[in-house]
Chains A and B, each alone.
Chain A
Amino acid sequence: MSSLTSSLGAWTRPSTRAAGASRGRSRAAPTTRAKMAGDDDDANAGRKKTGAPAPGGVPVWQRKNVRMWEVDIEAEFERQERREREAKERQQKEAASGLGFGRLNDLNDMNVDLSAQLRAKKPDAAEKLTIPGLAPLPGGDAKERKALPGDASSSPTSAIDLATTNKQVSKYDLDGWNYAPTRAEQKRWQREWEKGEQMRAAKNPVYAKSKFSTRQMKKLQPKDLKPTVGGRELTEAEKAERRRTADDAYLRVKENLLLTTAGLCGSGTVGAFAVGGVPLGASFAVGSAGALFYVKLLASKAEAGGGGQGGPPSILVPVILFMALNRWNFFFADDVGVTLLPIPMLLGFFTYKPASIFQAFRDILEEEQNGDGDNEYA
């Protein structure tokens, strides 16, 4: 019986050591990035990130600060199964420890596989070979030990654990691309760059005077981004000349539009008088007067501030025309003997439309004739 106890102790102790070793390995293995930090706390933090189970057995998705899409769910299921199996084995082991018939039954039972405990004795044998006076390695033997093929922790589940959690490539490595930096990062980089520039300028007076130094760069103002010609900024006289040319162009467009409208209105009125007599001609003439007034209002609208949104309400012109037609026919048509017709009046009002189309075509033709004279604004 005593020999059995000693043999049990020999099996039990290495198994606990092996379990400790496997714990240490499972802590260190999933997080090679935790090696950068070099301590166990960082390793624990790294394990949280990779989704490995916590010592308490809390599932990953129940922990705080863990997003669902960061959880490898299949690996987590594997871990859970392994955890349950290990807990069961531990219970069996604890129940079978000491002098009990349960352990004896385990030993006699061929279904119980104790090969893991037997293999775990190898590191123990290696430890015996170490020189007694020599201090142990600073990192601890359990951590520094490499996973051997026959080791207890090299189970299929640990391979899954390694494959799923020990990612060598960071998830932030976007195949050569990076995330766009935040404003805080940009400010920090700017500060660091300015700091470096200042240090460089302090060391080198020639560099401090060059246009690349921070002091010189800070002198750049928005006014430096004004349009330039041939690499130099425009003088006030040149600006005034440009403004005068553009204003002349606008006045020319306005006058041309008004004159074209007036020409079309006059010719149309004469034609209407000739074709339809006084009622048709009078109606067309009223509409033409409305068209001229409308073009004038449109011009003052374009000149007003707000890019055409201010100015007089030119849309009221057709309203006034129609109301005038209605009132005229109601009150004065019988007395004067001239009845205004709505359709000729509308035709007269819309003479501004072909005039504006004609003007637009004339502008295009003028620009084509002048060539690329307007490229100075490009």
Chain B
Amino acid sequence: MNPLICAASVVGAGLAIGLGAIGPGIGQGTAAGQAVEGIARQPEAEGKIRGTLLLSLAFMEALTIYGLVVALALMFANPFVS
């Protein structure tokens, strides 16, 4: 096992999840804030807002999951480590 590859994998995994979480984090925060505001303004439309939010969260969290998958692959199923 090459120690250089191991170290680079760990650093790469950290960067992948860390940097990949920035954008979706901002997006999720914005979406959640707008949803809460919408529910506060129009409580009767809470169900519709929630349904839209569910799909939005599914789309947004996928971006974080991509980075997470790369990080996990590097950590647990690294193809460069024999």
List A residues at the B interface (Cβ < 8 Å): 227, 239, 242-243, 245-254, 257, 295, 298-299, 301-303, 306-309, 314-315, 318-319, 322-323, 325-326, 342, 346, 350, 352-353, 356, 359-360, 363, 374, 377
Pick the contact of B77 from A239, A247, A295, A325 — CB < 8 Å?
A325
The answer to whether B76 and A323 touch across the interface, beta carbons within 8 angstroms, is yes
> Bound complex: CA of A307 vs CA of B47, how far in Å?
12
List B residues at the A interface (Cβ < 8 Å): 28-29, 31-36, 39, 42-51, 53-55, 57-59, 61-62, 64-65, 68-69, 72-73, 75-77
Question: Given A308-B31, A309-B29, are A250 and B73 neighbors across the interface (CB < 8 Å)?
Answer: no
Pick the contact of A309 from B28, B42, B50, B59 — CB < 8 Å?
B28
The answer to whether A299 and B42 touch across the interface, beta carbons within 8 angstroms, is no
The answer to whether B77 and A326 touch across the interface, beta carbons within 8 angstroms, is yes
A218 → B minimal CB distance (Å): 25
> Bound complex: CA of A346 vs CA of B44, how far in Å?
39
> Bound complex: CA of A356 vs CA of B57, how far in Å?
10
The answer to whether B72 and A318 touch across the interface, beta carbons within 8 angstroms, is yes
Contacts of A227 in B (CB 8 A): 42
Pick the contact of A318 from B39, B57, B68 — CB < 8 Å?
B68
The answer to whether B55 and A243 touch across the interface, beta carbons within 8 angstroms, is no
19 contacts between A and B (CB under 8 A): A246-B45, A247-B47, A249-B48, A250-B50, A253-B55, A254-B51, A254-B54, A306-B32, A307-B33, A308-B35, A309-B28, A319-B72, A322-B72, A322-B75, A326-B77, A342-B73, A342-B76, A342-B77, A356-B58
B78 → A minimal CB distance (Å): 10
B42 → A minimal CB distance (Å): 6
Contacts of B42 in A (CB 8 A): 227, 377
Q: Closest residue to B42 on the A side, CB-wise?
A: A377
Pick the contact of B55 from A248, A325, A360, A374 — CB < 8 Å?
A360
Please indicate which of the listed interface residues A227, A257, A295, A319 has the most CB atoms of chain B within 10 Å of its own CB. A319
> Bound complex: CA of A245 vs CA of B53, how far in Å?
17
Question: Given A246-B48, A309-B32, are A319 and B68 neighbors across the interface (CB < 8 Å)?
Answer: yes
The answer to whether B54 and A298 touch across the interface, beta carbons within 8 angstroms, is yes
The answer to whether A246 and B58 touch across the interface, beta carbons within 8 angstroms, is no
> Bound complex: CA of A239 vs CA of B49, how far in Å?
16
The answer to whether A250 and B47 touch across the interface, beta carbons within 8 angstroms, is yes
> Bound complex: CA of A342 vs CA of B75, how far in Å?
12
The answer to whether B53 and A246 touch across the interface, beta carbons within 8 angstroms, is no
Question: Given A253-B54, A353-B62, are A306 and B72 neighbors across the interface (CB < 8 Å)?
Answer: no
User: A243-B46, A251-B47, A315-B64 given. 15 additional CB < 8 A pairs?
Assistant: A242-B45, A246-B44, A246-B47, A247-B46, A249-B47, A250-B46, A250-B50, A307-B39, A308-B32, A309-B32, A315-B68, A318-B68, A353-B62, A356-B59, A374-B48
> Bound complex: CA of A123 vs CA of B55, how far in Å?
93
Q: Closest residue to A302 on the B side, CB-wise?
A: B54
> Bound complex: CA of A274 vs CA of B71, how far in Å?
30
Contacts of A308 in B (CB 8 A): 28, 31-32, 35, 53, 57
> Bound complex: CA of A253 vs CA of B48, how far in Å?
9
A329 → B minimal CB distance (Å): 9
The answer to whether A243 and B69 touch across the interface, beta carbons within 8 angstroms, is no
A67 → B minimal CB distance (Å): 42
> Bound complex: CA of A306 vs CA of B49, how far in Å?
13
A5 → B minimal CB distance (Å): 93
> Bound complex: CA of A277 vs CA of B43, how far in Å?
51
> Bound complex: CA of A314 vs CA of B24, how far in Å?
14
Q: Closest residue to B60 on the A side, CB-wise?
A: A308
> Bound complex: CA of A246 vs CA of B76, how far in Å?
44
The answer to whether B48 and A301 touch across the interface, beta carbons within 8 angstroms, is no
The answer to whether A248 and B47 touch across the interface, beta carbons within 8 angstroms, is yes
> Bound complex: CA of A248 vs CA of B51, how far in Å?
10
Question: Given A249-B51, A308-B57, are A243 and B32 neighbors across the interface (CB < 8 Å)?
Answer: no
